[in-house]
Amino acid sequence: MNSRDMRIGAKTAIALIVDDDPVMRILIRKALETDGFSVHESEDGRQAVASFPQLQPDIVLMDVMMPELDGFGACREIRGLPQGTRTPILMLTGLDDLDSINRAFDAGATDFIAKPINWGVLGYRVRYLLRSANTLEQLVRNQESLAEAQRIAHLGNWEWDIEQDQVYWSAETYRVLGLEDDATTADMASFMERIHPEERGQAQDALRQFISEGHAIDTTHRVVLDDGSIRYIHILGLTRRTADGRASFVAGTIQDITDRKKAEERIRYLAYYDALTTLPNRQFFLEQVQRSLAFARRHGRLLGVLSLDLDQFKRINDTLGHSLGDDLLVAVSKRLGDSVRTTDAVARLQLASDGLARLGGDEFSVLLTELVHFHDAAKVAHRILDELKSPFRLGDQEVFVTASRGIALFPNDGETPEILVKNADTAMHYAKEQGRNNYQFYGGGMNATALEKLALEAQLRKALEREEFILHYQPKVSALDGRVTGVEALVRWNHPALGIVGPNQFISVAEEIGLIIPLGEWVLATACRQLRAWQQAGCAPISVAVNIAGSHFRQPNLLTSVADALRDTGMDPNLLEIEVTESMLMDNVEGTIAVLRNLKSMGVQLAIDDFGTGYSSLAYLKRFPLDTLKIDRSFIKDAPGDAGDAALTTAIIGMAHSLNLGVVAEGVELQSQFDFLKERGCDVIQGYLISRPVPPENILELIDMRESMAGIATQPVKVKAG
């Protein structure tokens, strides 16, 4: 090897001369050997193509006109060989033979040199060609290793010339998007089509904003592959901007981050879920409660945490073995999931699907949202019990499971997730102490009430048609002479099992379930009929007062019910008194005034009940067409001993009189109260001191007795309750 060797890397460069003219071959050989090439020859195109793979020349010099296969054909065939795609091929054409030159390029030639050959230049041309071929080779190799690196990293690169609307995607970009690079053109429409439909709108908005503001892109999207599977992609892009700040060109990367997402999900799963039952774990549950608490707090909602612990699980586990014990926990968690998710007849009890969690061992927790009343929580506790009733099949065994449940409510029983869970636990342990398989509210106070309410709702719906309601009447007497001026009708439920149930036990439930309106109509009609019966029995004219509930008062058909009751009995409307509470009046002042006026126009008396417990102002009171004010029992209770209450009562009496209202004091139990009220000018007295509410048949004798005594003494006479 001489110092003039033409080298490519470590080896001498090989030139292949293809020419049917031997003289030409010798001349070219001479020229190239001088330049350090190792020279090989072919006599025609066919021979050149045949020897090419073996020889692997670094450059080919090719005559055009040859027998067998001409230069164009040979060039084309070499390009078709795997080794021949990039080898520089220099065509030897006739001078200014433009047609041949064009055909040569079409056939894949790298360059041409015109005959007659300028021998001084040939060496330079060949060297130059080789060098650029080398550079190209390097570039290709770099690109290949870049592509390889991109493939390994699932990272593609792309460019988007926004002004020219041209898009370039690297091979890996296509792959990441799950596209064939020869089947899809790179453009924004094809890109958008790959984005998950749920995110497409948002992606388009982001893109528009990006173009107008020209900041960098950094975003993650889901793409949907042709087989429907989901891939997560992360896109980064840097921007060139126009003078007015719009993006004109972006270059960036796109990466398939599905694996990372999956790993993150897995980590999240491990951190937040229980491996055995796949239910959320304690951590997840606490966070969930935290979120729901924020909502409940903002919207003034009730929220509950129910803790549940299987009874005797340890014993089951020890008898059956741990593996079946695990199976039981899984089966229980499935049933709990069903019972928690089932849409209740009351649609509002639909619970969040992840409201159930396993806190550890055989301890589960349920987050109760959408509670309207605390007894909704009791309903879930009951439903869980029902769900667990049927036996579990484990292997060839049937196992019966019961659970103790405890409920803590926000805001009553705690303000933080930890405290609510702890208190629900406390209640659950208390339930265990109470003999298992029951539930307890934290603080306990709600247990009886909740149970009662549950049973009540169902029975109450039927009570009206079963005629289980009755009215008792409580007399009111004139403070001046002790004469009975009227009675207040007070409803009771004559429950077949419980006996007489007071209205405080069921009125609010009746309101909730919409029963209050038919019930109220029944009370009106019955009270009016009763009054008529007393009158027909020859009793002195007294009035009858009927309580109307808020939701009934706001019903347009209240007026019709009153009118019907009056018409059906033919009684003097003046003897019917409607009692409404202070808070009802203040609810919708204009509407209330209209209803009161209508009632007044029928001749009915109107009383404001429980006065002093609401917030009515004197200014409003003036606007209502009322006749009577009933001072709430709470003021009377400690009067006259309590100076404050005594002063208030005195003030209320004075105020009522100044508004031309009669005053009734409720809940008068003591002679001292009676005396005090009489002295302060109170008109009418109602309370146990006179009589408890009694059945209608007791009223007549009561009136008679008082009539006969009125002339003798102004002292009230105690009458035994019925």
CA distance 469 to 417: 44
Kindly give the pairing relationship between strand 111-115 and strand 605-611. Answer: unpaired
Kindly give the pairing relationship between strand 59-63 and strand 14-18. Answer: parallel
Query: Whole-number minimum distance, CB 498 to ligand C2E, in Å?
Result: 15
Q: Pick what 91 binds: Ca ion, ligand C2E, none; C-beta below 5 to 8 Å, kind-dependent.
A: none
CB of 59 or CB of 546, closer to Ca ion: 546
Do 48 and 18 touch, CB atoms closer than 8 A?
A: yes
Query: Whole-number minimum distance, CB 473 to Ca ion, in Å?
Result: 12
Query: Whole-number minimum distance, CB 546 to ligand C2E, in Å?
Result: 6
When binding is defined by CB under 6 A, the residue of 43, 193, 669, 704 that contacts ligand C2E is 669
Quote the tokens at residue 45.
Answer: 């195109």
CB of 78 or CB of 489, closer to ligand C2E: 489
- Considering only residues 562 through 621, tell me which ones interact with ligand C2E, judged by CB under 6 A: 609-610
Quote the tokens at residue 458.
Answer: 């169902």
Q: Pick what 650 binds: ligand C2E, Ca ion, none; C-beta below 5 to 8 Å, kind-dependent.
A: none
CA distance 352 to 365: 13
- Considering only residues 601 through 640, tell me which ones interact with Ca ion, judged by CB under 5 A: 609-610
CA distance 222 to 240: 26
- Considering only residues 652 through 681, tell me which ones interact with Ca ion, judged by CB under 5 A: 666
What is the contact mask toward ligand C2E in residues 487 to 506, using x (rule: CB under 6 A)?
--xxx----------xxx--
Quote the tokens at residue 428.
Answer: 């659950």
Query: Whole-number minimum distance, CB 613 to ligand C2E, in Å?
Result: 10
CB of 474 or CB of 698, closer to ligand C2E: 474
Q: Pick what 68 binds: Ca ion, ligand C2E, none; C-beta below 5 to 8 Å, kind-dependent.
A: none
CA distance 548 to 609: 10
CB-count exposure of residue 528 (10 Å: 0-12, 13-18, 19+): buried
547 in contact with Ca ion (CB under 5 A): yes
- Tell me the one-letter amino acid at 549: A
CB of 373 or CB of 637, closer to ligand C2E: 637
Half-sphere exposure of 618 (CA within 13 A, CB side): 10
At residue 20's C-alpha, the angle toward residues 16 and 21, to 5°, is 100
Q: Is the dihedral of CA 75, 80, 81, 83 positive or negative?
A: positive
What is the contact mask toward ligand C2E in residues 528 to 567, using x (rule: CB under 6 A)?
-------------------xxx------------------
Q: Largest Cα–Cα distance in the chain?
A: 162
CB of 219 or CB of 613, closer to Ca ion: 613
When binding is defined by CB under 5 A, the residue of 172, 309, 579, 582 that contacts Ca ion is 579
687 in contact with ligand C2E (CB under 6 A): yes
Q: Is the dihedral of CA 461, 463, 464, 466 positive or negative?
A: positive
Q: Is the peptide bond before 411 cis (omega within 30 degrees of 0)?
A: yes
Query: Whole-number minimum distance, CB 486 to ligand C2E, in Å?
Result: 13
Q: Pick what 629 binds: Ca ion, ligand C2E, none; C-beta below 5 to 8 Å, kind-dependent.
A: none
Q: Pick what 687 binds: Ca ion, ligand C2E, none; C-beta below 5 to 8 Å, kind-dependent.
A: ligand C2E
Total residues in contact with Ca ion, by rule CB under 5 A: 5
Token look-up 């065939």 returns 77
Number of helices (H) and strands (E), helices first, in the chain?
Answer: 26, 28
Which residues contact Ca ion by CB under 5 A? Answer: 547, 579, 609-610, 666
Which residues contact ligand C2E by CB under 6 A? Answer: 474, 489-491, 502-504, 507, 520, 523, 547-549, 609-610, 633, 666-669, 687-688, 693
